[in-house]
Amino acid sequence: MNPSVRLIPLGGLGEIGLNMMLVESGDEIIAVDCGLMFPDDELPGIDYVIPDFSYALAKRAGFRAVVLTHGHEDHIGALPYLLREAALPVYGTPLTLALVAARLREHNLLANADLRPMRPRQPFRVGPFGIEPIRVTHSIADGMGLAIGTAAGTVVHTGDFKLDEKPLDGETPDYRRFAELGEQGVLALCSDSTNVDRPGHTRSETEVGHALAGRFAEASGRVILATFASHIHRIQHVLNLAEKHARKVALLGRSMERNVQVAAELGYLRLPDGVIRELEDVVGLPPERQVILSTGSQGEPNSALALMAAGEHKYVQIAPGDLVIISARVIPGNERTVGRVINALYRLGAEVLYDDNAFVHVSGHASQEDLKLMLNLTRPRYFIPVHGEYRHLLGHARLATSLGLPLERVFLVEDGTGVELTAETARVVPGYPTGRVLVDGSGIGDVGAVVLRDRQLLAENGLVAVSLAVDRQGTVVAGPEIASRGFVHMKENEALLEELRMAVVKALADRPPGVPFDREAMGAQVRSAVRQFITQRFQRKPIVLPTILEV
């Protein structure tokens, strides 16, 4: 039988974020990335969503390593939760590993971590796999695609990428290596689909630099710029421009301070002499000497930018003359919170520039023409679009067929559906366990569909709690006491409360004599009496929580 390799997506195919793909040969497995996803409004109270690792953990003996393409949360953020279960070696470029180390330290996992640096064009072996990092450009420095040599052939995984010919650090994508691999024969290409809807090429980070330079040159007051703390090159632009215009920069946000320090120590960021100062010092300077570099580009409620917009920041009061630049993409789902922050900043008199009204940001993902180039360079036998919602994967599949790749060689699969490849054949293998594991505080996976449904009901309709005490025979000796949250304000509705109490008492009095006391049945009786009353009066459906105490 011909040797085969299976590509098994555990996350990132069917959603933005949560990126993780297993490469399996015989019983040996590596994972490409191990990312998280931030929850949306449908997951109240959830901190993170992580992939379901159960398949890989069940094959722990052959699970060799995790190889990281770059340091974004949606590629490294779930690692602490995986490493807690399995102490695996983790490969990544130095910047990626430094960001991983910071996360592992927070989880008390750093001391036992096995972090192994990798560099472009320096192949290494993990079990039966030969892995070669290939440089790509992205919205974080030091991003890699991977060429994974397997018994069936070479699998190329692009990671997240754009093709930036003028990146700030001069480290251009390794077109030549992708082309050489294409010459030698690529069995399968897994390529980033995030921006497949955008025609043309994605613009260079250098162009944003020019645009920001123009804004700085014109600014007569304070400049406040919000971006992702991981966007080292964007941060470098700001530091350089501050130096040029004799401004001082204050860093706001824990991740911003941490990433600037990490990136500077590793040489990814050049800190101009004396430009970064403490916030207290910077706000004491004339406005035209101040730059505030902040997190909070997504309008996160407790971020520095949101506090400034709310007029609640301890040191920074927004005033007319301030220029606020939100130099980031608004992640889908955050439009409203970002909009609220922008409105508030305008009300305080600031001028606000953001993606919709000014050129202050470029994407880190490849557009259609870049994606075509990647397909043409690598000329894969099989193609699997990765990193995107279904519409993005579909768009990318169509793009590939438009270039002449036969439809039967394009695999439009989502999380949990694997593709098994030999040198000459490919087939879909569905049914791998996947799912979104929810992390809430220190609990992992203990919040399931029922808990989430309750949270939604609580959020929409509130809670009514009824407690009473009964004796052994089931006669009420105290209560019912009624409390509510998020339903009606009880203090102002004493009369209503009394009526509800009477409805409960009446329902319980209806219990036929001779029927033995049963706490659960009584609870159900209380619940239905309260529901009936509330439905009649309010046409609402709060969660009703009866508590019956036997004394």
Q: Report the 10 Å Cβ neighbour count for 17.
A: 19
How remote is the C-alpha of 467 from its chain's centroid?
41
222 near Zn ion, rule: CB under 5 A:
no
Helix, strand, or coil (residue 218) = helix
Bridge-based pairing state of the strands 223-226 and 323-326: parallel
How far apart are alpha carbons 238 and 220 in whole angstroms?
A: 16
33 near Zn ion, rule: CB under 5 A:
no
527 near Zn ion, rule: CB under 5 A:
no
Closest approach of Cβ 137 to Zn ion, in Å? 11
Interacting residue with Zn ion among 18, 31, 39, 72 (CB under 5 A): 72
Using the CB atoms, write b or e for 230-246: b if 16+ within 10 Å: bbbbbbbbbbbbbbeee
Closest approach of Cβ 160 to Zn ion, in Å? 3
Closest approach of Cβ 21 to Zn ion, in Å? 12
Looking at beta carbons only, is 331 or 373 nearer to Zn ion?
A: 331
What is the phi-psi region of residue 192: left when phi exceeds 0, alpha when psi lies from -120 to 50, beta otherwise? beta
Interacting residue with Zn ion among 160, 164, 370, 440 (CB under 5 A): 160
How far apart are alpha carbons 528 and 504 in whole angstroms?
A: 9
How far apart are alpha carbons 115 and 117 in whole angstroms?
A: 7
Instruction: Copy the structure tokens of residue 19.
Output: 């990126």
Q: CB burial class (10 A; 0-12, 13-18, 19+) of residue 59?
A: middle
Contact 209, 177 (CB under 8 A): no
What is the Cα gyration radius of the chain? 28
How far apart are alpha carbons 279 and 254 in whole angstroms?
A: 13
Candidate segments 107-115, 120-128, 160-168, 512-520, binder of Zn ion by CB under 5 A: 160-168
Closest approach of Cβ 236 to Zn ion, in Å? 18
Looking at beta carbons only, is 161 or 487 nearer to Zn ion?
A: 161
Candidate segments 65-73, 115-123, 332-340, 487-495, binder of Zn ion by CB under 5 A: 65-73
Closest approach of Cβ 190 to Zn ion, in Å? 13
DSSP 8-state class, residue 289 = G
Using the CB atoms, write b or e for 453-477: b if 16+ within 10 Å: eebeebeebbbbbbbbbbeeebebe
Looking at beta carbons only, is 194 or 303 nearer to Zn ion?
A: 194
Looking at beta carbons only, is 52 or 160 nearer to Zn ion?
A: 160
- Kindly give the residue spans of alpha helices, DSSP state H, lying in 140-253: 175-184, 205-218, 232-244
- C-alpha torsion angle, residues 493, 499, 500, 503 (rounded to 10): 180
Candidate segments 152-160, 215-223, 285-293, 504-512, binder of Zn ion by CB under 5 A: 152-160
How far apart are alpha carbons 65 and 114 in whole angstroms?
A: 10
Looking at beta carbons only, is 22 or 421 nearer to Zn ion?
A: 22
Closest approach of Cβ 550 to Zn ion, in Å? 55
How far apart are alpha carbons 159 and 364 in whole angstroms?
A: 11
Closest approach of Cβ 105 to Zn ion, in Å? 22
Candidate segments 154-162, 206-214, 233-241, 284-292, binder of Zn ion by CB under 5 A: 154-162
231 near Zn ion, rule: CB under 5 A:
no
392 near Zn ion, rule: CB under 5 A:
no
Residue ranges in 73-102 that form contacts with Zn ion under rule CB under 5 A: 74
247 near Zn ion, rule: CB under 5 A:
no
Closest approach of Cβ 12 to Zn ion, in Å? 7
How far apart are alpha carbons 12 and 160 in whole angstroms?
A: 11
Contact 191, 374 (CB under 8 A): yes
Candidate segments 67-75, 216-224, 256-264, 267-275, binder of Zn ion by CB under 5 A: 67-75
Candidate segments 53-61, 159-167, 202-210, 477-485, binder of Zn ion by CB under 5 A: 159-167
Closest approach of Cβ 74 to Zn ion, in Å? 4
192 near Zn ion, rule: CB under 5 A:
no
Looking at beta carbons only, is 249 or 256 nearer to Zn ion?
A: 256
How remote is the C-alpha of 270 from its chain's centroid?
28
Q: How many residues sit in the footprint of Zn ion (CB under 5 A)?
A: 3
Residue 212, CB-side half-sphere exposure with 13 Å CA sphere = 33
164 near Zn ion, rule: CB under 5 A:
no
Contact 194, 365 (CB under 8 A): yes
Looking at beta carbons only, is 17 or 380 nearer to Zn ion?
A: 17
205 near Zn ion, rule: CB under 5 A:
no
How far apart are alpha carbons 24 and 21 in whole angstroms?
A: 10
Looking at beta carbons only, is 20 or 212 nearer to Zn ion?
A: 20
Instruction: Copy the structure tokens of residue 292.
Output: 């505030």
Tell me which residues are annotated as active site.
Answer: 192, 365
Looking at beta carbons only, is 215 or 365 nearer to Zn ion?
A: 365
Closest approach of Cβ 127 to Zn ion, in Å? 26
Looking at beta carbons only, is 17 or 479 nearer to Zn ion?
A: 17
Candidate segments 70-78, 117-125, 314-322, 369-377, binder of Zn ion by CB under 5 A: 70-78
Q: CB burial class (10 A; 0-12, 13-18, 19+) of residue 211?
A: buried
Q: What does the binding site for Zn ion look like in residue numbers (CB under 5 A)? A: 72, 74, 160
